[in-house]
Structure 1
Amino acid sequence: MLIDSHVNLHAPQFDEDRDAVIARARAAGVKLMVNISDKVSHFQKVRELADAPDIWCTVGTHPHEARENPGLAAADLVRLAEDLRVVGIGETGLDFHYDLSPREVQAQVFRAHVAAARRTGLPLVVHTREADAAMGDILEEEHAAGPFRLLMHCYTSGPELAARAAALGAWFSVSGIATFKAAADVRAVIADMPADRIIVETDCPYLAPVPHRGRRNEPAYIVPVLEKLAEIRGWGREEAEQRTEDAFFALFDRIPRP
Structure 2
Amino acid sequence: MTEFLPQIVDSHCHLDFPDFAEELPEVVARAQAAGVTRMVTICTRLRSEPAVRAIAERFDCVYYAAGTHPMSAHEEPLVTVEELVALAKHPKFVGLGETGLDYHYTAESAEIQKVSLRLHIEAAQETGLPLIIHSREADDDMAAILTEGMKARPYSCVMHCFSSGEALARTAIDLGFYLSMSGVATFPKSGEIREIFSRAPLDRILVETDSPYLAPPPHRGRRNEPAYTALTAKVGAEVFGLSLADFAAATTANFDRLFWKAGGAK
Q: TM-score range by the shorter chain?
A: over 0.9
Map of 2:54 onto structure 1: 48
TM-score in terms of structure 2 length: 0.95
Deviation at 1:100, TM superposition (A): 6.9
Q: Deviations over 1:10-58 (max 9, x none)?
A: 0011112222211211221211000111111111111111112110000
Contact 1:126 1:152 in 2 (8 A): yes
Q: Tell me if 1:111 matches 2:118.
A: yes
| SS of equivalent to 1:182 | coil
Deviation at 1:208, TM superposition (A): 0.1
Whole-Å separation in 2 of the counterparts to 1:118 and 1:37: 20
Q: Tell me if 1:3 matches 2:22.
A: no
Contact 2:71 2:106 in 1 (8 A): yes
| SS of equivalent to 1:68 | coil
Contact 1:65 1:101 in 2 (8 A): no
Map of 1:60 onto structure 2: 67
Whole-Å separation in 1 of the counterparts to 2:240 and 2:24: 33
Whole-Å separation in 2 of the counterparts to 1:210 and 1:17: 22
| SS of equivalent to 1:10 | coil
Output the aligned Cα RMSD. 1.1
Whole-Å separation in 2 of the counterparts to 1:94 and 1:49: 27
Q: Tell me if 1:39 matches 2:45.
A: yes
Q: Tell me if 1:128 matches 2:135.
A: yes
Which structure 2 residue ranges, 5 or more long, are not aligned? 1-6
| SS of equivalent to 1:36 | strand
Map of 2:157 onto structure 1: 150
The one-letter amino acid paired with 1:75 is: E
Contact 2:45 2:76 in 1 (8 A): no
TM-score in terms of structure 1 length: 0.97
Which of 28, 31, 37 pairs up with 1:25? Answer: 31
Whole-Å separation in 1 of the counterparts to 2:39 and 2:153: 29
Q: Tell me if 1:245 matches 2:247.
A: no
Map of 1:83 onto structure 2: 90
Q: Tell me if 1:203 matches 2:244.
A: no
The one-letter amino acid paired with 2:139 is: D
The more displaced of 193-202 and 21-30 is: 21-30
Which of 69, 72, 76 pairs up with 2:76? Answer: 69
Percent pairwise identity: 43
Deviation at 1:145, TM superposition (A): 0.6
4+ residue runs of structure 1 moved beyond 3 angstroms? none
Deviation at 1:69, TM superposition (A): 3.1
Whole-Å separation in 1 of the counterparts to 2:107 and 2:18: 20
Which of 175, 178, 183 pairs up with 1:168? Answer: 175
Deviation at 1:199, TM superposition (A): 0.9
| SS of equivalent to 1:189 | helix
Deviation at 1:70, TM superposition (A): 4.8
Aligned length: 258
Contact 1:152 1:173 in 2 (8 A): yes
| SS of equivalent to 2:74 | helix
Which of 199, 203, 213 pairs up with 1:192? Answer: 199
Which of 231, 237, 241 pairs up with 2:238? Answer: 231
Question: Aligned in 2, Cα 1:100/1:24: closer, same or farther, shift over 3 Å?
Answer: farther
| SS of equivalent to 1:239 | helix
| SS of equivalent to 2:135 | strand
The more displaced of 18-27 and 131-140 is: 18-27
Contact 1:64 1:101 in 2 (8 A): no
Deviation at 1:256, TM superposition (A): 2.5
Deviation at 1:68, TM superposition (A): 2.8
Contact 2:12 2:39 in 1 (8 A): yes
Deviation at 1:71, TM superposition (A): 2.8
Whole-Å separation in 2 of the counterparts to 1:149 and 1:124: 6
